[in-house]
A and B are shown apart, each in its own frame.
Chain A
């Protein structure tokens, strides 16, 4: 199958964050960037599908600054065939603007599947996949935790609150991938060497108009936490009293 994986380059959330002088973005000093968590699962699923179902092509597509190329290169070292870098610096916050760029890039290229991660770890929105599907008039299933493809049709599971949906859909389709479906492989040394010779095309992203922007970015207020009620079982009566009288949650 011909599969595209749309991924996002995001800062490693283990790092200590600081707000940049503009007050609307992160201070990039010292940040490390990587493929967003769920997008890594999407890359893995794409590679496995083609390993199981015979040869095909896996292409990674992403928007970002020039430094994005090293992130795309990591996907190539996992076994992806080629990359497409859509230049945007910075990448707008507006998911609909991004979806328009991806839809115009991916249209008419004959992809059987276009995969996204369920959400990106930076914005946590998960909107670009279903929006791109609408713009391309493709069937779309989001947040899937299981996937089977046979004879041009797919069956997927989605986890809802307290329930699991089984969903069927025809190909071509857009899917967004939840975790648990397949742990991303680590690039092998051979894969890293091979990735150096794989092509990455680069061109400007055909972004749509931006109507959703970040006015302000702040670190969360420190919770007034840290109050230790006491030690061991002796502290239980005081905790229950506080929950009832002060917090009013009991």
Chain B
């Protein structure tokens, strides 16, 4: 079974596989962590890489490897959480807006356009700044900027699918609006949403890290990668790993999601593109 899953080229399965692997890794973090990530040991500050401390220790003598592992939970976990909420808000509104149409649709789109008029980083910075630094406020701020994209995507998918003949066929066959929505629209929407969501996860991770870096998200001593980077940057000369490792971790995890998103985009892009001259 695992083999068929591994070898299959069904994009849904690939996504499930990657998410499964990721959640297993994140779940086992507490078992893998060798030290308490927040245990301060001033006698052991800025230790180099060793067998005991795989990545060395930071300026407060905390084990970097442990902090990175727990930080993965914070960063990736939070971004998946943010995404889920954005999906839960964005998709239903998009469905309703696109399917019902009319005045409700026009009103919704006004709201969506207003949100989209502003660059997401700006809104997130201003919002999380005003709500006050902290992870929960950061989540609220990023959800606020992210749900709109899904509403718009779902709405436009619904609108373009609505035109097609098979929906007319389904109507003639006596299916109710709800059944049509469920049976015919959802599969189409799912593919599009999946592509956007995978590409978005990377962006959300970057955003959480960036805002934490400038002090608006996770607060020290919380082991969040962006916040760790901020703490570590002053010690670059003595312990460069304090700055390099968190950054590299962010990059690698975002890269994985981007790769996945790229693959999905190619899979779902039905357009046959010819190249060269």
* A and B are partners in one complex rather than unrelated chains: no
A residues near B (Cβ < 8 Å) are none
